[in-house]
């Protein structure tokens, strides 16, 4: 949000992937006049008063086992991994409640993209319940056959899909 304000940006398209859904939901609540579109890419879609830990999801990870010294360090976070690489994530961002109060954000166009692993059913995906929330709000939901990180595994298909949303 501060970057958008500091750079005096308008007509911003925000894309939130995974946890990033929490972020873009908060940003559009605070500065909806700067945002022209939201895209949730296999992302959490919270409502007021939820945290990532309380947002409905299918299955889940054992965050307690992955937490150390206030950070979540999943098994795939390796210091010697070549870019792009993940880094430890602050645990508090998973437990803080989101505070949504601005109804103006509801007027921003939104698309939800649910990625589903090949051979699996959408309802078995971790983010399926967030995609159902999107449908309930009347937002278009696109199902993409891909794992959770299509920007890494299917970058061209992901770019083509996103470019088609303009």
Point out the residues that are catalytic. Answer: 18
Q: What does 1-62 look like in DSSP terms, one character per residue?
A: -HHHHHTT--SEEEEEEETHHHHHHHHHHH-GGGEEEEEEEEE----TT--TTTS--SS---
Residue 160: C-alpha distances to residues 156, 157, 166 (Å): 6, 5, 11
- Token readout for 135 is 């449908």
Nearest residue to 139 (alpha-carbon basis) of 100, 94, 166, 107 = 107
Distance of CA 103 to the CA centre of its chain: 20
Q: Between the CA atoms of 143, 145, 150 and 156, what dihedral angle is there, to the nearest 10 degrees? A: -100
């Amino acid at each position: 949000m501060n970057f958008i304000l500091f750079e005096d940006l308008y007509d911003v398209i925000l894309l939130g992937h995974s946890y990033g859904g929490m972020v873009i939901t908060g940003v559009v609540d605070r500065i909806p006049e700067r945002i022209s579109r939201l895209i949730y890419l296999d992302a959490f879609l919270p409502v007021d008063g939820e945290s990532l830990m309380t947002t409905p999801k299918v299955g889940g990870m054992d965050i307690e086992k992955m937490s150390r010294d206030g950070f979540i360090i999943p098994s795939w976070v390796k210091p010697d991994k070549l870019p792009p690489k993940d880094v430890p994530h602050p645990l508090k961002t998973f437990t803080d409640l989101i505070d949504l109060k601005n109804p103006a954000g509801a007027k921003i166009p939104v698309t939800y993209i649910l990625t589903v692993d090949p051979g699996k059913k959408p309802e078995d995906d971790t983010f399926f319940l967030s995609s159902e929330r999107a449908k309930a709000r009347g937002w278009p939901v696109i199902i993409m056959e891909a794992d959770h990180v299509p920007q890494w595994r299917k970058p061209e298909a992901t770019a083509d899909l996103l470019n088609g949303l303009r």
